[in-house]
Amino acid sequence: MKFSAVFLLCGSFALAQKAAEEIPLIKIDVDLVSILCSVRDKKGALQSTLTKDDFSLFENGTQQQLKYFVRETDLPLTIGLLVDVSGSQEGLIGEEKRTSNQFFQKMLRPKDMAFVISFGSEAELLQDYTSSINLLREGLEGLRLNTSVSGIHPGPVPNAVQRGTILFDAVFLAAADKLKGEVGRKVIVLITDGMDQGSRVKMEKAIEAAQKSDVIIYSIFYEDPYFRARNRGYYANDSALKKMSEETGGRVFHVGGRQSLNDIFDQIQQEMRTQYALTYISTIPVRDGSYRKIEVRPANKDLKVQARKGYYATVNSSN
């Protein structure tokens, strides 16, 4: 099924919540705030043996008392894979199909779920929630070029220009419509060259939707050098991807050099299986919808914590 940019704002997928037995070991209510984080040493190695005493957590500058601490190695995971199929990515789609299928084969466990959305000038749900590798593979086979044509490109031989990459709309859709009602750990894996053309929502609104839905965004910056060489003046960059990922507790990976798309998928898999959940009762009891800044500090100053920057204190939030 396809979703126009208007439908991204107005439409909503029908959601079915996971069975009660898939709810994480931590019971979340409106008074609790739960933050997922990863920790690395100076060399970038993930740290998997830390304890509650290795962390301090602050909300709006005030230290909070941790109520629960869990290593998230085995809890269920919900993954939304978003793949850019706009004109600038045409030469990469085949590789994205192959490696994304391998990623799901390695990553998904019986209680995990995933869905696949492609986006170009439109967003298309290629496969809804499933734990079936076969269904996900069939969905990935639906990845194909998706562009709209408008305008005339000036030059010796005028030609139509392919426009439209609704990156921010796609993130908003995945976070607000697909993942908001889910429980447990929720992740968006985004494969794109980072360019947005034509989204109806701004980047800030997409980030807000992800934060309100407790979603981590991992961005994979994947640029086709042949497309860039053929299209002077087209300069992709990862600035928007960095912003969306860092604000939600994820990070940006770059395909290129010695790092392949498959290598990056392996790193994401390892990171998602080496996380900590820090849960506390906020010292600000009022749920007024305001945005509250969060900082997680390691006791060992040589370690670096990767966590979202804050949350929205909404009445019905489980954040």
Confidence of residue 1 (pLDDT cuts 50, 70, 90): low
Confidence of residue 23 (pLDDT cuts 50, 70, 90): very low
Span 75-148+160-272: which CATH code? 3.40.50.410
pLDDT for residue 298 is more than 50: yes
The pTM is what?
Answer: 0.85
Confidence of residue 316 (pLDDT cuts 50, 70, 90): low
Which has the higher per-residue pLDDT, 163 or 295? Answer: 295
Mean pLDDT within 247-271: 95
96-109 residue pLDDT tens = 999 999 999 999 98
pLDDT for residue 203 is more than 50: yes
Confidence of residue 315 (pLDDT cuts 50, 70, 90): low
Picking from 19-33, 112-126, 178-192, 270-284, which range would have the lowest pLDDT averaged per residue?
A: 19-33
Mean pLDDT within 183-203: 94
Helix ranges (DSSP H) in 90-184: 93-107, 133-140, 167-172
Rounded-to-integer distance, Cα 263 and Cα 213, Å: 28
Mean pLDDT within 162-182: 90
How does 234-273 read in b/e, with b if 16+ C-beta sit within 10 Å? eebebebbbbbbbbbbbbbbebeeeeebeebbbebeebbb
pLDDT at residue 152 in the model: 36
Fold assignment, 24-73+275-312: Immunoglobulin-like (2.60.40)
pLDDT for residue 242 is more than 70: yes
Mean pLDDT within 46-55: 95
Q: Same CATH fold, 75-148+160-272 and 24-73+275-312?
A: no
Confidence of residue 248 (pLDDT cuts 50, 70, 90): very high
pLDDT at residue 47 in the model: 96
Domain boundaries, the chain: 24-73+275-312, 75-148+160-272
Which has the higher per-residue pLDDT, 88 or 233? Answer: 88
pLDDT for residue 160 is more than 50: no
CB 210 within 8 A of CB 248: yes
pLDDT for residue 27 is more than 80: no
pLDDT at residue 73 in the model: 65
Rounded-to-integer distance, Cα 181 and Cα 175, Å: 9
